Amino acid sequence: MENQKTLTIYQPPTLRKMTITFLKLGWRVITEALKGKNILVAPQVVSTRRSICSQCDYYQQPRCGHCGCFLPTKTLIRAAECPINKWSVDSRVDSKISTKANQGAY
């Protein structure tokens, strides 16, 4: 009994707060897409993000109990960030334009 880990269930954010978070992220994704940047991160980044989330107290599969985001999707998006800074926006810049240029070189 003494060694039992206490499971904390966090209250999800309000619908209003989740909507604002979703709209802000959507705006950043659209902005990056319009700049010609990739909106998704590399598989290694997804894996690292998901590993961090899976060990977080707020993790309530498949969602984050802090921001309410659907983590299988959120961890794919380059402009997404953890609300408590456990992981951040993937700042590596590789645009679609340069990717296309690289593909053309082969």
CA distances from 101 to 3, 14, 36, 43, 94 (A): 57, 44, 13, 21, 11
For ligand SF4, the binding residues in 34-73 under the rule CB under 6 A are: 52-53, 56, 58-59, 64, 66
Chain positions 68 to 97 lying near ligand SF4, rule: CB under 6 A, are: 82-84, 86
In the complex, minimum distance from the CB of residue 63 to ligand SF4, in angstroms, rounded to a whole number = 8
Measure the CA–CA gap between 33 and 71, rounded to whole angstroms: 21
**How many residues lie near ligand SF4 (CB under 6 A)?**
11
Count how many Cα atoms sit within 13 Å of the Cα of residue 48 in the half-sphere of its side chain.
Answer: 13
Residues that bind ligand SF4 (CB under 6 A): 52-53, 56, 58-59, 64, 66, 82-84, 86
